[in-house]
Amino acid sequence: MGKGKKVIIIGAGIGGITTAIHLAQNKFDVRIYEKNDYAGGRCGNFTKDGHRFDIGATLLMMTDIYRETYASFGKELEKELELYRMDPIYRIKYINGQELNFTSDLASLQQQLESIEPGSYKNFLAYMAQSYSSYKLSMKHIIDRNYYKATDSFNLKNLILLLRLKAFNKHYEFTNKYFKNELLKIAFTFQNIYVGQNPFTASALFSMLPFLELTEGVWYPKGGMFRVIENLLEIAQEFGVTINYNKVAEKIQIENNKATGVRFTDSSCDTADIIISNADLPYVYNDLLPRTKQSTRVNKLKYTCSAFVFHWGMDKIYNNFEQHNVFVSRDYKENIVTLFKSKSLSDDPSFYIHAACKSDKTAAPVNQDSISAIVPAGHIDESNPKNWNSLKQQARDAIFRRFMEEGITDFEEHIKFEVCYTPQTWKTIFNLSRGATFGSLSHNLLQMGFMRPHNQHKKYKNLFFVGGSTHPGNGIPMALLSAKLSSEKIIKYYS
């Protein structure tokens, strides 16, 4: 089908690699160019002094999408990767000393929910039923499909569907129907941060996230999330995909309303019949393409938050943590408002701790630990500049202060080394617009489906996009779907 058609993919993120495999299977000649000396993007990793860290993503969920992806390559997920199921999925630590082990063990979860709010377990089951409906219907009719014209999205049938999915309800407010206790409302809405959303303004459509955690489960590959990238690279090479590292795209070359090739910062060029960008979409419109009205429109869209991510090599093991831990701030709402409205960082932020050695001892030397912390922060706003070094120290101090309150009094003195990614790091290393860590463009009803920037350029028809800032959205499972959908559109267009 694609025999003789040359394809250039800019970026070796998970979306770019997966797209390459889909197309190579269909006889396209695919070459990937990656700006860094490693693949994976935010799903990359690094090692230092025997400690291994996932740069961004730390968990694997929505396994059905992974299985479908691997099956399309003639592979079996469980034969390619050694996966551990996380249970509890994570431990939520509240400021009042209460905690909730979010677990698929329903007997244990029932006991915990009832101790926080009597009668809440019955409501939890109703919430899960609604979430199940949202997941199945949205996957079929909104997420896992391509859009070719406006009426694919804007019609009476879809309006009725959105009403049924509670898409016009705000997620946090929607939980009022099921829970009275604020701790439980937080437990079932903070997952919006996974995709850089504000739980108080995000659509209730995303109630599917806790449902997916509890049913399909949360998993961790032995070797870390980068093991997924390594495995996909092996499959890509099986299909003849070539990957070139340390090649920074400078411009996508345009001639007669067609993308003809890519010019790189080392002055070299390559030409192809089809250009696909796995780089952040707003970055492509602003830096790699001629400026158009579309560039202006993209810049006016809503962006996700950013994050400070600390990686610590520890000289001792900390048994205080589960593998995934969420520490909730004293004033959860104030923390969210500061994050999304002020685009900054509160004095008492919520944060997440990842302790990889809990399931994978290869992540650190014997009797040592590799601990990561993610502190959501506002994205870069040029109209309201921030002192990111000062905010980094503020985030660090807040973590250690909370640890002290939790009885972890010696953490700082056992740090061997520290590596920190700031909003500026995300922008510089990964070309993420505004340093928006979670895929740059946010999800809201006006930035979903047909309204999200399309995976095929409107004017340059042989230029396609894949990744978090195009359809269907951000997060690794969505990047896998993005690769599938963009590939389907390319194959259809060139058939």
pLDDT (mean) for 302-318? 96
Q: What pLDDT does 37 receive?
A: 96
Is 161's pLDDT higher than 90? no
Q: What pLDDT does 1 receive?
A: 65
Is 489's pLDDT higher than 90? yes
Report which of 448, 486, 483, 441 is spatially closest to residue 196, judged by C-alpha positions: 441
Q: In what order do the strands lie in the sheet with 269-271?
A: 249-254, 259-264, 269-271
Q: What pLDDT does 196 receive?
A: 85
pLDDT (mean) for 269-273? 98
pLDDT mean across residues, the chain: 94
Task: Report the share of the chain in percent with pLDDT over 70.
Answer: 100
Q: What pLDDT does 423 receive?
A: 96
Q: What pLDDT does 198 receive?
A: 93
pLDDT (mean) for 476-481? 96
pLDDT (mean) for 292-301? 92
pLDDT (mean) for 403-424? 97
Is 158's pLDDT higher than 90? no
Is 356's pLDDT higher than 70? yes
Band of the pLDDT at 404, cuts 50, 70, 90? very high
Band of the pLDDT at 123, cuts 50, 70, 90? very high
**18 CB burial (10 A radius; 0-12, 13-18, 19+):** buried
Q: What pLDDT does 172 receive?
A: 94
Question: Which region among 103-107, 199-203, 266-270, 436-440 has the lowest average model confidence (pLDDT)?
Answer: 436-440
Contact 274, 260 (CB under 8 A): no
Q: What pLDDT does 165 receive?
A: 87
Go through 349-382 and write b for each residue having 16 or more CB atoms within 10 A of its CB, e for each that does not. Answer: bbbbbbbbbbbbeebbbeebbbbbbbbbbbbbee
Q: What pLDDT does 195 receive?
A: 82
Q: What pLDDT does 59 receive?
A: 94
Question: Which region among 382-386, 414-418, 456-460 has the lowest average model confidence (pLDDT)?
Answer: 382-386
Report which of 64, 75, 38, 65 is spatially closest to residue 53, judged by C-alpha positions: 38
Tokens coding 19: 């797209």
Task: Please list the residues that pair with 463 across neighbouring strands.
Answer: 275
Is 2's pLDDT higher than 80? no
Band of the pLDDT at 466, cuts 50, 70, 90? very high
Instruction: Give the C-alpha separation, 16 to 233, whole Å.
Output: 11
